[in-house]
Amino acid sequence: MKSEIEKFTLKPCFRILSVFIGILVFQNNLNSQPAPITFWSPSASPVDLQRWSVIHSIKDPLVDRPIADQHPNPEPVSMTRITGSDPWGKYFSVYSHTLKCAGSDGRKDCPSATAVYLPFCPAGCLLLRKGKISDSDSSPLSAQKRDAKPRVVPLERFGEEERLALILSPFDGPRGLREDPIFGTFEEIQSVFLLKATRVLFFTSLELFSFVFFIFIYIRRRQDKFNLSFALLNLSLALWYPSYEGWGTYLVDSPWMYVLFGYSIGAFLPILFHEFTRGVFQTPRDKIGTSLEFLFFIHTLWPSLEFGWTGGLSNFGKYAFHSFIVVLVVFFAYTIYLFVQFRKTSILSFRWVVSGLVLVASSSFYTVLSFAGIGRSGIWVNESFLGLTLLFSLALAKRYAEVFRALENSQVNLKLLNESLESKVEERTRIIELQKTELEQKGKILAKDLSIAGKIQSALLPREMPVIPHASMAYRYRPMMEIGGDLLDVLYDSKSGTLGMFIGDVTGHGVSAALLASMVKMTLGSWAKYLQEPSALLLHIREQLEGKLDGHFLTATFVIVDLNTGHSLIANAGHPECLVLRKDGKIEFYRPKGMAIYESIPTLYETESVPLRPGDKIVLYTDGIPDARNADGVLLGEENLAELLKRNAHLSPEDLCDAVMKGVQSYQGENFSHQYQDDMALLVAEYEG
C-alpha cells in the first residue's frame, strides 16, 4: 500500500481521480451488501445503532482500488466488543447500517439537520454517508487520518433513507468502540455529547478534589495510611476514566494516552483498593494479598510494554482481559474474607465502609464483564466510587465526631478539674506562703547558728602558726558549707624539739561532719605523749570515737618531725598520701599501711620513717583538692597536684599554699565560683635545718 500511496503523491491529479473511482466502486459494494435497518422517528429519538453489517478489506477502501480480497460477515455484529482475539485486526473493517425515517403516523416527516455521536475509537474511525465522507468529518485527501476522539458528525439534508458506513482502521489489538453510536437530531446529539463530556468532567473534577482533600487529611494524620491509599485511588480514577473513554485525546492525541492511562492504570486500581481495605481493617500483610497485588502489577505493565515493543496489543486483547477477570474474582473473594475476618478491627464504621466497598467491587466486576462482552452496560465504576467516597467521608466524619465529642467531654472534665485544682492551688499557695515564712524564720535562725558554729569550728583550727626554730608552716582551710568535716592541727614540743602535724577528714559534709570533727579535735588534747609513736595516736583516736561515729568514718595522717635531726615518722589511716617535696623539686609519696578509722573494722597502723634535708617540705591535704572537677567533670587528680607543687617548689609554705589554692580555683573555672565541691584542707611545713 505504501508504493501505491507514493505513486499518488507524485501525481496528485491521478490520485484524486483514483480516489473518486474507488469511492464509486466501493459505494456500489456497500449498496450491494445487506445492512441492518433502523426505523427512526423524531418522536422516539435518539436511537442506539447496535447491529451493523461488516466487510473486512486488506486495502484502504478510500485510497486503493477495490480488489477481490474482501470478506463480508454473514451476520450483523456489534462494535462494542473490545476484548478477545480479532482475526481481522490487520484489515480495514467497514460497518454498515441503514436508517429509514418514519413519522409516528406513518408519514415521513424527517428533519433536515441530523447527526451521529461517535464514541471513542481506539484504532481511529471515519463515518461515510452513502459511501461518501461527511463534509463535516473529513475530506477525501485526508481520509487516511482517522480520528479517535468522541465527536459529533452532522448529517445535513437527511433523506427518507440513509446508508451509514463506519470504517475502522487496522490495529493489532482491541479496537472496538466503547459504546454504540447514537443517531438523532442535531440538537439531541449535541446534548448527548455535552452530557457525556460533562459527566466525564464532573467525575474527574470530583476525584481530583477528593485526592487533594484526603491528601490534606493524610498530612494532618500520617498514622492513618488508608487516607493516602484512598487519595491515590481517587487520583488514579481521575486519570483512568477520561483516558479510557477517549476524552483524554483532546489533551494529548496519542495512542499512549489510553494505553498508559486507560489500560495500565485501570489494572493498577485493585492494588490501591486492596491497600485501602488493609488500612481500614488493619489487616496484616499476607502471601495471598501480596501475590494478588503482584499479578495486578503484571497486568499494569503488560499493555504499556507490549505496545511499546510491538506497536499493538494483540496478546493483551487475547489473554489479558480473561486472566484479569480470573484474578479479579479471586481478589473479590479474598476481600470478602478480609471483611468477615477483620470486621472487629475496622477503624471506621464497619457497615458504611463495607457497603461502599461492596458497591465499588460489584460495579467494577460488572463493568469488566461488560468489557469482555458478557452483558451490556456502561462504565459505572465512577458512580459507585462516588458512593464509596460519600460513605467513607460519612464514616470518617462520624469517627472524627466521636473524637471531638470525647474531646469536648474531656474539656468539660478538665475544666471542672482545673476549677478544683485552682481552689486547691490557692489553698496550697496560702499554706506554702505560711510554711515559707516559717522556713525563712527558721532559715535565718539556722544560718545564724551555722555562722556561730563556723566561728566555733574556726576557733578549733590553729589561729596562727607558732614560730618554731628550724621550721616554717602554713595552712589553708575552705569548708564546702559554713562548716565542714576537715580538720588539722600542729603541736610543737620545745623540750624535745619535736613537731607534730595532724590532718583528718570525716565523711560527709555539714553539721554532722563538723560535730564529729570537733570530737576528733577533743581526742587530740593529750596527743603530746604520742609524739614519739604516731601510730599509737591513731589507735587512741579510734578508741575514743568507738560507738560515736554513727556510720561515719575518719581518715587521718599523723607526721612527727625531729627538728634537730630532720628525722620524721609518718602514720596513715586511709588518708591520701603524705607528700615530701624535696628542695630540688622532686616529689615522694608516703602512705604507710592502715585503714580508715571505723568502729566496726579493727585494724593496726604502721609507721614509716623518712629523713628530711634542709629545704624539704611536707605537704598534707584532704581529698577535696585532688577531687576538684573542671567544667567537663574531669578530676584534678594527684598527678596534676604534684605538677602544681613541682612548679612552685621554690616558694615558702605560705606562698605555696596560695599557689595551690589558686591553681585549684583556676582548674575548676566556673564551678569554683558557685560553691566548693568538697571541703578542702592543706597543711605545708618546711624543714629549715
CA distances from 518 to 492, 521, 550, 683 (A): 21, 5, 15, 18
Which neighbouring-strand residues pair with 97?
164
Q: What pLDDT is attached to residue 144?
A: 43
Question: What is the Cα–Cα distance from 183 to 116, expressed in whole angstroms?
Answer: 5
Q: What pLDDT is attached to residue 285?
A: 87
Query: pLDDT tens across 194-232, in order?
Result: 999 998 898 888 889 888 988 988 888 888 888 888 889
Beta strand 471-478 pairing with 680-687:
antiparallel
Dihedral pair phi/psi, residue 480, rounded to 5°:
-65, -40
Per the document, the length of the chain is: 689
Grid-cell match 471542672, residue found: 416
Q: Give DSSP secondary structure letters for 226-285.
A: HHHHHHHHHHHHHHHHHHHTTGGGGT--SHHHHIIIIIIHHHHHHHHHHHHHHHHHTPPP
CA distances from 194 to 202, 247, 380, 599 (A): 12, 12, 19, 106
Of 4-8, 478-482, 508-512, 556-560, the range with the lowest mean pLDDT is 4-8
Higher pLDDT among residues 288 and 340, named by residue: 288
Q: Is the pLDDT of residue 589 over 90?
A: yes
CA-based nearest residue to 559, from 575, 544, 547, 548: 575
Look at the alpha carbons of 287, 293, 294, 299 in this order and tell me if their dihedral is positive or negative. Answer: positive
Task: Classify residue 349 by its DSSP letter.
Answer: -
Q: Is the pLDDT of residue 676 over 60?
A: no
Q: What pLDDT is attached to residue 21?
A: 41
Residue 311 carries which side chain, given as an amino acid letter?
Answer: G
Grid-cell match 477517549, residue found: 246
Q: Is the pLDDT of residue 547 over 60?
A: yes
Using alpha carbons only, how large is the chain's radius of gyration in Å?
53
Query: pLDDT tens across 317-371, in order?
Result: 778 877 887 888 888 888 888 878 887 777 666 666 667 667 666 666 666 655 5
Q: What pLDDT is attached to residue 336?
A: 81
Residue 315 carries which side chain, given as an amino acid letter?
Answer: N
Higher pLDDT among residues 336 and 650, named by residue: 650
Grid-cell match 524564720, residue found: 441
Spatial contact of 263 and 241, defined as CB atoms under 8 Å apart: no
The terminus-to-terminus CA distance of the chain in angstroms comes to 131
Spatial contact of 167 and 61, defined as CB atoms under 8 Å apart: yes
Which neighbouring-strand residues pair with 129?
132, 164
Confidence of residue 398 (pLDDT cuts 50, 70, 90): low
Q: What pLDDT is attached to residue 389?
A: 65
